[in-house]
């Protein structure tokens, strides 16, 4: 009897390569290279007069792939649609049914999903194959159509009133509004003066310690001026400092839950300086599979688009076993269950390593530097999440001086617990000086430390802060944060300086038009409620088309009013001192698909353009010219001389403008500690008196 032939269809070649390792010769694995059907780019693609029926078409370039898949389907006894285990993946499988002209009721058609690409998970998923989940498909359709309507109706307004090439969107407009509102808050902020008073005190034994003024006459005190502060200082100089009370105790610091998509993006931004899109790109590689020496291609982490903090029993059991064998019994604790965010979809586990025994150190040689950094972060966070709390001995004391009460406290780590594995920069101040004093003891005043302060405006958004805020207010979902930030950056609505987002003039104009004409649509509560409705579609509790029916009439009315009433806005291009080689005009800064560039203002008569480079602020070590920050074709930053090609100086690292005293090669800055080293790999010179 001939064995059955099985066809497995996935999205990517990387995923296909990993699956081939786990499935036998009777399985053939093919990749679709992403979506195969979508709404057309050239039109709205939604029939608003026919109950918002979408007009899906085959994506250009997918014809040959589909032709091949149709041939494979005909000869296969079983067809397994193994796209990602989320709304998007379910929709791709559903679109494949239509593109391949399959009958969803055909017994040979199966939908399979796995939370991790491991042999156990893949075999189990095939054994537990199911039908297409139309609730998931409809949730994706509702989101796609809603976003298409908003984008394709609002964007022409911006083209008409501002300039071509702009876009607006349901989630991106909220993100832009948050950044613009914060910038306005900062601009309008008026600082207020206040003072603090600290004292250096010393007991009969031990080192001096600091205490901070907390109360006067038993009430909390706020010092608003130098005069108020001077009055306090005068009293302190004439009175004795006596220890009123000393309390000793302990406190525990609990580990964080394993990563969700959002928290992974936030931590990778803060600790690794990864942009959200970069984090997701690398995480996708780790999920789909890496060629590990001695193992072959294996998926290293579980599914990366999730807002759940739950882990499987198998993952928990393996973590406990690893901790017991490698860290010791004292690092074992009861299973930790973490609170799930109220908006979370709990379909998948948290992001975790597929095997905790595959340690970062053991597989480092098989990973790129960026893959290693992110995998290490995921591995450590997961393991730490099932370890004991860190424990601290604490001391707090109250010190009286006349009518004033000072407070002081300190702590000392007594048991590291989870910090053995996951000690990030949040713990730099974990150990604080322990004040050494006894109740009733008179203390010696070493120094009075008054200090003037001014209230600070709220901080601008970083990527991590923006993602956290969007998550907290319930706008967007794990898979949308990275592309949303990418869009508002690519459109030049915001710019990033030292990790902080600043709205551009264009961004402020777009935000003003969108918020003044579509206040309801970009309203945070409205957008969050829309997300809840989309989640209810996924749960089978809400008709997906009803979301569109409720939304469209009012929205279409707003679009018509805006087209009629919104005045045109003219944005002046930034004029530079660079002279056009062809016609002599001063060139202006334009923003294109790949960022800023210089263009002649005489367009279309003069079409001259030039790249726009940022001055690195140093002289070329070879010829003394300016060094510019440039970008390679793949977007990687490098440093080059303005006199190129006459001067061939080029470096991936920032030059200092100096030459190596040993070999004469340019010195460059490397690493997070700004170490100055020789650019020649053969030399190895390191500047030891670097003060940076």
Given a cut of 50, is residue 653 above it in pLDDT?
A: yes
The verdict on 274 and 297 lying in the same domain is yes
Residue 669 lies in a domain: no
Q: Minimal CA–CA distance to 187: which of 567, 528, 457, 533? A: 457
Task: Render pLDDT for 317-356 as a digit per residue (tens, 0 to 9).
Answer: 999 999 999 999 999 999 999 887 655 555 679 999 999 9
Q: Is pLDDT of 692 > 50?
A: no
Return the closest-CA partner of residue 82 out of 14, 29, 118, 5. 29
Residue 40 dihedral angles phi and psi, to the nearest 5°: -65, 145
What count of other Cβ atoms lies within 10 Å of the Cβ of residue 393? 15
159/155 Cα distance (integer angstroms):
6
**Each residue's pLDDT tens digit, 90-131:** 999 999 999 999 988 899 999 999 999 998 999 999 999 999
Do residues 42 and 115 both lie within one domain?
A: yes
Mean predicted confidence (pLDDT) in 679-692: 70
Please indicate, yes or no, whether residues 128 and 11 belong to a single structural domain of this protein. Answer: yes
Q: Which of 351, 385, 419 represents a domain boundary (last residue)?
A: 385
Residue at 486 is within a domain:
yes
For residue 202, the surrounding DSSP H or E stretch is strand 193-202
Query: In terms of DSSP bridges, do strands 494-497 and 442-454 run parallel, antiparallel, or are they unpaired?
Result: unpaired
Report yes or no: 210 and 397 within 8 Å, Cβ to Cβ: no
Rounded to a whole number of angstroms, the CA Rg of the chain reads: 31
**Which pLDDT band holds residue 691 (cuts at 50, 70, 90)?**
very low
Structure tokens at 113: 């999903």
444 vs 610 pLDDT, higher one: 444
DSSP secondary structure code for residue 417 in this structure:
G
What's the Cα-to-Cα distance from 332 to each of 321, 335, 428, rounded to whole Å? Answer: 9, 9, 24
Number of H helices, E strands in the chain: 17, 30
Q: 432 or 691, which is more confident?
A: 432
Whether the pLDDT of residue 186 is over 80: the answer is yes
Number of domains in the chain: 5
Q: Is the pLDDT of residue 690 over 70?
A: no
- Rounded mean pLDDT of 598-610? 90
Residue 578 has pLDDT above 80, yes or no: yes
**Rounded to an integer, what distance in angstroms lies between the CA atom of residue 569 and that of residue 565?**
12
Check which CATH number belongs to the domain holding 34 and give it. Answer: 3.40.50.140
Q: Based on the fold, state whether residues 381 and 394 are members of the same structural domain.
A: no
Tell me if 552 is assigned to some domain: yes
The domain that holds 547 is classified in CATH as: 1.10.460.10
Q: In the listed set 385, 419, 443, which residue is the last one of a domain according to the structure?
A: 385
Which residue shows structure tokens 């996935």?
10
Give yes or no: residues 53 and 88 share one domain: yes
Give the span between the Cα atoms of 347 and 310, in whole angstroms: 10
Quick check: is 691 in a domain? no
- Residue showing tokens 């989640």: 535
Residue 668 in any domain: the answer is no
Q: Average per-residue pLDDT in the chain?
A: 90
C-alpha count within 13 angstroms, C-beta hemisphere, residue 279: 34
**Dist CA 447 CA 128 (whole Å):** 73
Phi, psi of 624 (to 5 degrees): 85, 0
Confidence tier at 440 by pLDDT (50, 70, 90): very high
Instruction: Tell me if 212 sits within 8 A of 198, measured CB to CB.
Output: yes
Measure the N-to-C terminal CA separation of the chain; round to a whole number of Å: 75
Closest CA to 156 of 415, 673, 517: 517
Rounded Cα distance between 609 and 592, Å, is 11
Residue with tokens 């989870």: 418
163 contact partners, CB below 8 Å, separation of at least 6: 571
Q: 482 φ, ψ to 5°? A: -60, -50
Tokens of 139: 């949730």
On whether both 497 and 512 belong to a single domain, the answer is yes
pLDDT at 362 over 90: yes
Residue ranges making up the domain that contains 579: 574-651
Average pLDDT over residues 530-543: 90
Question: Phi and psi of 465, rounded to 5°?
Answer: -65, -40
Distance (Å, whole) CA 417 – CA 421:
8
Q: Whose structure tokens read 């970008």?
A: 631
* Per-residue model confidence as pLDDT tens digits over 29-61: 999 998 999 999 999 999 999 999 999 999 999
> Is 303 among the residues known to form the active site?
yes
For 103, 206, 302, 535, the CA distances from 346, given in Å and listed in that order, are: 30, 53, 14, 11
Q: Tell how strand 78-81 and strand 6-10 pair up.
A: parallel
Percent of the chain with pLDDT over 70: 95
**Given this model, what pLDDT does residue 640 score?**
87
Q: Are residues 560 and 581 in the same domain?
A: no
- The answer as to whether 687 is a domain residue is no
CATH of the domain at 282: 1.10.290.10
Q: Residue 450 in contact with residue 197, Cβ under 8 Å?
A: yes
One domain for residues 169 and 214: no
Of the candidates 56, 287, 303, 628, the residue annotated as catalytic is: 303
Rounded to the nearest angstrom, the gap between the alpha carbon of residue 635 and the centroid of all alpha carbons in its chain is 19
Instruction: Count the neighbouring beta carbons within 10 Å of the beta carbon of residue 610.
Output: 14
Q: What are phi and psi for residue 616, nearest 5 degrees?
A: -75, -10
Residues with Cβ < 8 Å from 153, sequence gap 6 or more?
44, 555, 556, 559
Please tell me the predicted confidence (pLDDT) of residue 165.
82
Q: Are both 411 and 315 inside the same structural domain?
A: no
- Whether 300 and 375 have beta carbons less than 8 Å apart is answered as yes
Q: Are residues 44 and 14 in the same domain?
A: yes
Q: How many of the other CB atoms lie within 10 Å of CB of 403?
A: 14
Domain stop point among 565, 586, 609: 565
pLDDT(187) > 60: yes
Range picked from 2-6, 167-171, 201-205, 662-666 for highest mean pLDDT: 167-171
The model's confidence at residue 194, banded by pLDDT at 50, 70 and 90, is: very high
Residue 537 or 615, more confident: 537
Work out the average pLDDT over 541-555.
94
- Bridge partner residues of 412 (DSSP): 393
Contact 36, 62 (CB under 8 A): yes
**What φ, ψ does residue 403 adopt, rounded to 5°?**
-90, 0
Tell me, yes or no, whether 13 lies in a domain.
yes
SS3 of residue 398 by DSSP? strand
- Measured CA to CA, the distance from residue 201 to residue 185 in angstroms comes to 40
Same domain assignment for residues 106 and 72:
yes
**pLDDT tens per residue across span 53-87:** 999 999 999 999 999 999 999 999 999 999 999 99
| pLDDT tens track for 126-149 | 999 999 999 999 999 999 999 999
- Domain assignment present for residue 50? The answer is yes
Q: 359 and 305 share a domain?
A: yes
pTM of the full structure: 0.82
- 3-state SS, 568-622, equals CCCCCCEEEEEECCCCCCEEEEEEECCEEEEECCCCCCCCCEEECCEEEEEECCC
- The string of pLDDT tens digits covering residues 1-21 is 446 799 999 999 999 999 998
Is residue 634 within 8 A of residue 643, CB to CB? The reply is: no
Mean pLDDT confidence for 419-426: 81
What band does 594 get if pLDDT is binned at 50, 70 and 90? low
């Amino acid at each position: 009897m001939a064995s059955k032939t099985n066809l497995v269809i996935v999205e990517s070649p990387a995923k296909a390569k990993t699956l081939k390792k786990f499935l036998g010769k009777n399985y053939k694995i093919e990749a679709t290279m992403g979506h195969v059907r979508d709404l057309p780019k050239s039109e709205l693609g939604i029939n608003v007069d026919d109950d918002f029926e979408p007009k899906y078409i085959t994506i250009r370039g997918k014809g040959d792939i589909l032709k091949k898949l149709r041939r494979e389907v005909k000869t296969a006894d079983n067809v397994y649609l193994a796209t990602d285990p989320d709304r998007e993946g379910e929709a791709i499988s559903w679109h494949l049914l239509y593109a391949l002209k399959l009958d969803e009721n055909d017994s040979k058609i199966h939908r399979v999903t796995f939370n991790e690409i491991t042999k156990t998970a893949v075999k189990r998923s095939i054994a537990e194959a199911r039908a297409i989940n139309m609730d998931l498909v409809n949730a994706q359709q509702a989101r796609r159509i809603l976003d298409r309507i908003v984008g394709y109706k609002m964007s022409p307004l911006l083209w008409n009133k501002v300039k071509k090439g702009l876009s607006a969107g349901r989630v991106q407009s909220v993100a832009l509004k948050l950044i613009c509102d914060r910038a306005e808050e900062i601009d309008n902020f008026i600082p207020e003066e206040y003072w603090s008073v600290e004292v250096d005190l010393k007991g009969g034994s031990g080192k001096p310690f600091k205490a901070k003024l907390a109360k006067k006459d038993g009430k909390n005190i706020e010092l608003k001026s130098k005069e108020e502060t001077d009055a306090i200082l005068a009293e302190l100089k004439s009175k004795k400092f006596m220890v009123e009370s000393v309390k000793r105790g302990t406190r525990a610091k609990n580990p964080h839950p394993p990563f969700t998509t959002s928290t992974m993006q936030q931590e990778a931004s803060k600790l690794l300086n990864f942009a959200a899109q970069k984090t997701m790109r690398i995480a996708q590689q780790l999920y789909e599979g890496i060629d590990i020496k001695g193992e072959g291609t294996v998926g290293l982490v579980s599914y990366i688009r999730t807002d759940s903090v739950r882990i499987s029993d198998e993952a928990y059991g393996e973590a406990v076993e690893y901790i017991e064998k490698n860290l010791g019994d004292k690092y074992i604790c009861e299973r930790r269950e973490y609170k799930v965010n109220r908006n979370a979809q709990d379909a998948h586990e948290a992001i975790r390593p597929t095997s905790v025994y595959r340690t970062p150190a053991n597989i480092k040689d098989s990973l790129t530097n960026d893959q290693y950094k992110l995998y290490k972060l995921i591995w450590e966070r997961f393991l730490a999440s099932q370890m004991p709390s860190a424990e601290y001995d604490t001391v707090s004391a109250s010190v009286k001086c006349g009518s004033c009460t000072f407070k002081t406290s300190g702590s000392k780590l007594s048991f590291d617990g989870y910090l053995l594995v996951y000690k990030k920069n949040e713990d730099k101040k974990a150990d604080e000086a322990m004040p050494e004093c006894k109740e009733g003891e008179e203390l010696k005043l070493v120094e009075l430390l008054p200090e003037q302060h001014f209230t600070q405006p709220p901080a601008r958004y970083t990527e991590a802060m923006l993602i956290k805020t969007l998550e907290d207010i319930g706008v967007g979902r794990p898979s949308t944060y990275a592309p949303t930030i990418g869009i508002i950056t690519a459109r030049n609505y915001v710019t990033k300086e030292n990790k902080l987002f600043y709205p551009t003039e264009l961004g402020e104009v777009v935000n003003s038009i969108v918020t003044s004409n579509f206040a309801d649509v970009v309203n945070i509560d409205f957008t969050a409620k829309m997300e809840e409705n989309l989640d209810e579609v996924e749960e089978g509790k809400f008709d997906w088309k009803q979301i569109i029916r409720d939304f469209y009439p009012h929205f279409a009315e707003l679009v018509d009013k805006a087209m009629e009433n919104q005045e045109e806005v003219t944005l002046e291009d930034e004029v530079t001192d660079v002279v056009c080689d062809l016609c002599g005009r001063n060139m202006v800064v334009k923003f294109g698909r790949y960022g800023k560039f210089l263009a002649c203002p005489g367009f279309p008569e003069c079409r001259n353009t030039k790249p726009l480079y940022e001055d690195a602020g140093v002289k070329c070590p070879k010829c003394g010219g300016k060094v510019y920050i440039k970008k390679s074709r793949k977007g990687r930053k490098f440093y080059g001389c303005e006199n190129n090609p006459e001067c061939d100086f080029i470096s991936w690292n920032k030059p200092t403008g100096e030459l190596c005293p040993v070999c004469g090669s340019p010195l460059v800055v490397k690493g997070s500690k700004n170490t100055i080293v020789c650019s020649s790999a053969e030399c190895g010179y390191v500047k030891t008196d670097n003060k940076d």
